[in-house]
């Protein structure tokens, strides 16, 4: 896994010029990407400013920049989804089957169950903010770059 | 309750008049399907987020949950948590991808890379069934509210009110389309939030900002005593009821993000970033709201007492109105009543719009006309469908007077989680998933869920069943989620691996790229 991500990083830093809309056609090592074989997937045919043709999704899909951002996203959203779901179901099962534990007093009349319930509120907010920050810093800039390459505003 | 019906009606009519005026003003340009279904995608994330919370916070949430906490204590609070945590699913997995891939309906996404006509038909079927359950619950709720708040006890009076609700709602949808309906939601959600916030601050202040004191008084004034501070009062009676509670929780947390009228809200913003912001602001609004329901619920027990609540005409639904009356007199009661009504109106309008969009866009334009309807005809069909659905919901609402409102809403969640969620997730994240798998999962989930409902105590053999006098229930649980949701995931998987059909490769590439980046989303 480490070697693969290193390879992608290397490719990225070898420098795809960011300013040109047709940048995908000038990738540094075209022979490495099947996606860049002009006959099948020539980006320049799909991305002219005044053409209405669909962009070549197959080519974008195999582009390392896309692969990287998609993997980064999946590595966040799936574990976090599992995490909140398991945490919620733990709480539900405790509420259903561990009455004595949930009935313990923690602070005055505030029971453990109530605190755990409120902690579900807290974890929801924390996950929300975490995801917002993650996408803002790690995902959105990458997606903007991909969109610019593809000629979207 | 000694409210003044005239004052209630006056404030209610004033709020409705304001919403009608707003709908009329904003609807100057409501001439294309994009305007009617998705308000041209022109709302900002925050506006749409407030509207989203408006769609979600139905009268069942406002009156039902706070009332359940006031009477059953902790077990009512469990609802709040499920309804809130559920929002992480659309935030993380669904909202942005939906905006990037689809345009108007759920069918746009689930049929994207599959065979169009069968998938569109399946999506429309589940949308219509789920909306029908939700719609009936809201209309029946309107009847309950009327008898409770306006002192209209006769069934003729209730019928009149249901007709009025239906008529106003049809006006919202026909004249305002998605734009008008969204503004109604924004107005209503803001009113609702201000209302619960003021009540909460007042209650906390009354008990010296000590939650512990508030809880003590609540327990002292409740028939359950200290038991209301811990789980089990409502769901802890037997092993079956415990399992039923787990099933309900599962349906709540997985269903919210798959409700068709919630999904449709992701299309009313310009891009995925705004869709994300919608869910973020909606979740903030709901953190606030459900946090407040805890204080209001226990506060109602502390101030009014569970005995008084249970002897009022609406039983637990009357907790909040009674609380409002005892802390703010008839004016506050009238405001709370009016907000509750506006809530019903707005939610019903959103549901009608969703159902009509699904019929016109998926069934008429894509299934019947093969994606090439005559210009303008799709919008015409959508409007006609909205009127028909409005009329049907009036009739259904009348027939549903006196039915168990809360269980209908919970069933809509179970249906959404069974019929829609597996297909949505598989379509977005599993490339191999194909038409057969989608159909297996959607019809299997919908069918098994409906079947289990028919043979559950909700339908027959229980104290509050729809069918009285006959007992043909075979399935012990009120909520079928724990069976039908995993079954639907399994069917989707089996249907895919056992069949040989392949999803369209090009469309699959497009879906993968578009769902992440939104490239091509604005032009298609």
B88: containing domain: 5-405
Per-residue pLDDT at B294 exceeds 60: yes
Of how many residues is chain B composed?
Answer: 524
What pLDDT shows up at residue B273? 92
Say if CB B146 and CB B157 are below 8 A apart. Answer: yes
Cβ of A61 within 8 Å of Cβ of B91? The answer is no
Say if CB B203 and CB B214 are below 8 A apart. Answer: yes
Of how many residues is chain A composed?
Answer: 153
What pLDDT shows up at residue B333? 83
Please tell me the distance from the alpha carbon of residue B250 to that of residue B236, in angstroms, as a whole number. 17
What pLDDT shows up at residue B288? 94
Say if CB B351 and CB B156 are below 8 A apart. Answer: no
What mean pLDDT is predicted for residues B121-129? 95
Residues near B124 by Cβ (< 8 Å), separated by ≥ 6?
B105, B107, B358, B359, B362, B363, B367
Can you state the angle between helices B116-145 and B377-399, rounded to 10 degrees?
40
Tokens of B269: 């913003």
Per-residue pLDDT at B92 exceeds 90: yes
Using pLDDT thresholds of 50, 70 and 90, give the confidence band for residue B468: confident
B194 to chain A, any CB pair closer than 8 A? The answer is: no
Question: Which of A125-136 are b and which e, b meaning 16 or more Cβ less than 10 Å from the residue's Cβ?
Answer: eebbeebeebbe
Residues near B481 by Cβ (< 8 Å), separated by ≥ 6?
B247, B248, B250, B251, B254, B255, B413, B414, B417, B418, B449
What pLDDT shows up at residue B53? 93
Tokens of A57: 């999704």
Planar angle of CA B190, B131, B166, nearest 5 degrees: 65
Per-residue pLDDT at B123 exceeds 50: yes
Cα–chain-centroid distance for residue B393?
Answer: 15
Tell me the pLDDT tens digit for each residue of A33-53: 444 333 333 344 344 444 455
Cβ of B287 within 8 Å of Cβ of A55? The answer is no
Reported in sequence order, the residue ranges of chain A that DSSP labels E, i.e. its strands, are 105-107, 110-111
Residues near B333 by Cβ (< 8 Å), separated by ≥ 6?
B1, B3, B8, B149, B321, B324, B325
Identify whether B151 is part of a domain. yes
Tokens of A111: 């029971």
Identify whether B491 is part of a domain. no
B519 to chain A, any CB pair closer than 8 A? The answer is: yes
Per-residue pLDDT at B78 exceeds 50: yes
Tokens of B20: 């009608």
B278 to chain A, any CB pair closer than 8 A? The answer is: no
A124 to chain B, any CB pair closer than 8 A? The answer is: yes
Using pLDDT thresholds of 50, 70 and 90, give the confidence band for residue B142: confident
The whole-angstrom distance between B229's CA and the closest CA on chain A is 7
The whole-angstrom distance between A147's CA and the closest CA on chain B is 6
What pLDDT shows up at residue A108? 75
Residues near B464 by Cβ (< 8 Å), separated by ≥ 6?
B404, B407, B458
Tell me the pLDDT tens digit for each residue of B369-420: 888 888 888 889 999 999 999 999 888 888 877 666 667 788 999 999 999 9
DSSP single-letter state for residue B94: I
Alpha helices for B304-434 (secondary structure H): 306-311, 319-357, 377-399, 405-419, 421-429
Q: What three-state secondary structure class fits A14?
A: coil
What pLDDT shows up at residue A98? 86
Mean pLDDT check: name the lowest of A8-22, B314-328, B443-457. Answer: A8-22
Per-residue pLDDT at A93 exceeds 80: yes
Q: Which residues 202-221 of B are in CB contact (within 8 Å) with A?
A: 210-213, 215-216, 219
The whole-angstrom distance between A25's CA and the closest CA on chain B is 17
Please tell me the distance from the alpha carbon of residue B119 to that of residue B83, in angstroms, as a whole number. 29
Strands A105-107 and A110-111: antiparallel
3-state helix, strand, coil split of chain B in percent (to 5) is: 80, 0, 20
Please tell me the distance from the alpha carbon of residue B414 to that of residue B482, in angstroms, as a whole number. 9
The predicted model scores a pTM of 0.87
What pLDDT shows up at residue A39? 35
A34 to chain B, any CB pair closer than 8 A? The answer is: no
Identify whether B522 is part of a domain. no
What pLDDT shows up at residue A47? 44
Instruction: Tell me how crowded residue B153 is: count the other CB atoms within 10 A of its CB.
Output: 12
Please tell me the distance from the alpha carbon of residue B16 to that of residue B62, in angstroms, as a whole number. 18
Identify whether B502 is part of a domain. no
Please tell me the distance from the alpha carbon of residue B262 to that of residue B55, in angstroms, as a whole number. 7
Residue B369, φ and ψ in degrees, nearest 5? -105, 15
A22 to chain B, any CB pair closer than 8 A? The answer is: no
More confident residue, B464 or B516: B516
Reported in sequence order, the residue ranges of B130-201 that DSSP labels E, i.e. its strands, are none
What mean pLDDT is predicted for residues A83-105? 90
Residues near B21 by Cβ (< 8 Å), separated by ≥ 6?
none
Per-residue pLDDT at B93 exceeds 90: yes
Q: How many domains does chain B have?
A: 1
List CB contacts (< 8 A) between B431 and chain A: none
Identify the CATH number of the domain in which residue B179 sits. Answer: 1.20.1730.10
Residue B154, φ and ψ in degrees, nearest 5? -70, 150
What pLDDT shows up at residue B404? 63
Alpha-carbon separation of residue A44 from A22, A40, A153 (angstroms): 6, 12, 17
Which of A47, A67, A95 is the best substitution to test chain B (most B C-beta atoms within 10 A)?
A: A95
Mean pLDDT check: name the lowest of A142-146, B17-21, B311-315, B347-351. Answer: B311-315
Tokens of B120: 């569109």
Tokens of B57: 């916070």
The fraction of chain B above a pLDDT of 90, given in percent, is 41
Assign 3-class secondary structure to A71-86.
Answer: HHHHHHHHHHHHHHHH
What pLDDT shows up at residue B353? 92
Cβ of A96 within 8 Å of Cβ of B88? The answer is no
List CB contacts (< 8 A) between A95 and chain B: 74, 78, 231-232, 245
Closest alpha carbon within chain A to B227: A103
How large is the greatest C-alpha to C-alpha distance in chain B, in angstroms?
68
Using pLDDT thresholds of 50, 70 and 90, give the confidence band for residue A18: very low
Return the half-sphere exposure (C-beta side, CA atoms, 13 A cut-off) of residue B74: 31
The mean pLDDT value of chain B amounts to 87
């Amino acid at each position: 896994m480490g070697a693969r991500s290193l390879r992608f990083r290397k490719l990225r830093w070898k420098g795809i010029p960011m300013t040109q809309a047709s940048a995908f056609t000038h990738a540094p090592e075209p022979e490495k990407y099947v996606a860049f074989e002009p006959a099948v997937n020539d980006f320049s045919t799909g991305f002219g400013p005044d053409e209405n043709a669909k962009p070549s999704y197959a080519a974008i899909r195999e582009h390392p920049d896309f692969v990287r951002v998609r993997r980064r996203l999946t590595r966040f959203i799936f574990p976090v989804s599992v995490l909140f779901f398991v945490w919620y179901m733990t709480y539900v099962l405790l509420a259903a089957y561990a009455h004595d534990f949930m009935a313990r007093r923690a602070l005055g009349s505030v029971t453990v169950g109530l605190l755990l319930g409120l902690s579900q509120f807290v974890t929801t907010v924390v996950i929300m903010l975490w995801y917002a920050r993650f996408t803002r810093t790690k995902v959105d800039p990458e997606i903007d770059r991909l969109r610019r390459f593809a000629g979207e505003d | 309750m000694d409210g003044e019906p005239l004052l209630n009606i006056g404030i209610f009519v004033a709020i409705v008049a304001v919403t009608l005026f707003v709908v009329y003003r904003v609807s100057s340009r409501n001439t294309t399907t994009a305007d009617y279904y998705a308000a041209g995608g022109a709302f900002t994330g925050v506006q749409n987020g407030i509207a989203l919370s408006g769609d979600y916070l139905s009268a069942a949430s406002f009156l039902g949950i706070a009332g359940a906490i006031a009477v059953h204590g902790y077990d009512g609070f469990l609802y709040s948590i499920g309804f809130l945590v559920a929002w992480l699913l659309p935030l993380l997995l669904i909202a942005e991808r939906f905006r990037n891939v689809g345009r108007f309906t759920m069918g746009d996404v689930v049929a994207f890379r599959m065979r169009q006509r069968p998938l569109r038909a399946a999506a429309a079927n589940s949308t219509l069934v789920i909306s029908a359950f939700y719609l009936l619950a809201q209309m029946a709720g309107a009847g309950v509210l009327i008898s409770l708040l306006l002192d209209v006890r006769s069934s003729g009076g209730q019928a009149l009110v249901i007709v009025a609700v239906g008529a106003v709602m049809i006006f919202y949808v026909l004249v305002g389309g998605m734009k008008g309906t969204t503004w109604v939601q924004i107005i209503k959600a803001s009113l609702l939030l201000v209302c619960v916030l003021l009540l909460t601050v007042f209650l906390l202040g009354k008990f010296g900002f000590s939650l512990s004191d508030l809880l003590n008084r609540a327990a002292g004034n409740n028939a359950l005593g200290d038991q209301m501070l811990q789980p089990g009062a409502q769901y802890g009676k037997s092993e079956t009821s415990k399992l039923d509670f787990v099933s309900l929780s599962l349906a709540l947390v997985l269903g919210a993000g798959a409700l068709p009228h919630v999904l449709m809200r992701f299309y009313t913003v310009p891009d995925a970033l705004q869709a994300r912001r919608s869910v973020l602001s909606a979740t903030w609004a709901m953190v606030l709201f459900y946090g407040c329901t805890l204080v209001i619920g226990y506060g109602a027990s502390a101030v009014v007492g569970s005995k008084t609540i249970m002897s009022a005409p609406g039983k637990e639904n009357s907790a909040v109105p009674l609380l409002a009356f005892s802390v703010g007199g008839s004016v506050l009661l009238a405001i709370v009543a009016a907000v509750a009504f506006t809530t019903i109106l707005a939610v019903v309008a959103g549901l009608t719009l969703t159902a009509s969009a699904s019929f016109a866009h998926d069934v008429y334009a894509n299934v019947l006309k093969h994606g090439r309807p005559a210009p303008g005809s799709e919008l015409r069909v959508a409007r006609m469908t909205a009127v028909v659905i409005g009329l049907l919901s009036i009739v259904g609402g009348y027939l549903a007077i006196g039915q168990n409102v809360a269980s209908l809403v919970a069933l809509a969640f179970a249906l959404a989680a069974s019929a829609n969620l597996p297909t949505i997730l598989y379509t977005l994240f599993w490339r191999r998933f194909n038409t057969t798998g989608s159909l297996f999962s959607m019809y299997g989930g919908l069918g098994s869920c409906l079947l289990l409902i028919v043979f559950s105590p909700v339908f027959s053999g229980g104290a509050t069943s729809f069918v009285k006098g006959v007992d043909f229930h075979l399935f012990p649980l009120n909520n079928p989620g724990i069976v039908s949701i995993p079954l639907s995931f399994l069917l989707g998987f089996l249907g895919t691996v056992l069949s040989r059909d392949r999803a369209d490769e090009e469309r699959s590439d497009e879906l993968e790229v578009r769902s992440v980046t939104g490239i091509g989303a604005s032009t298609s």
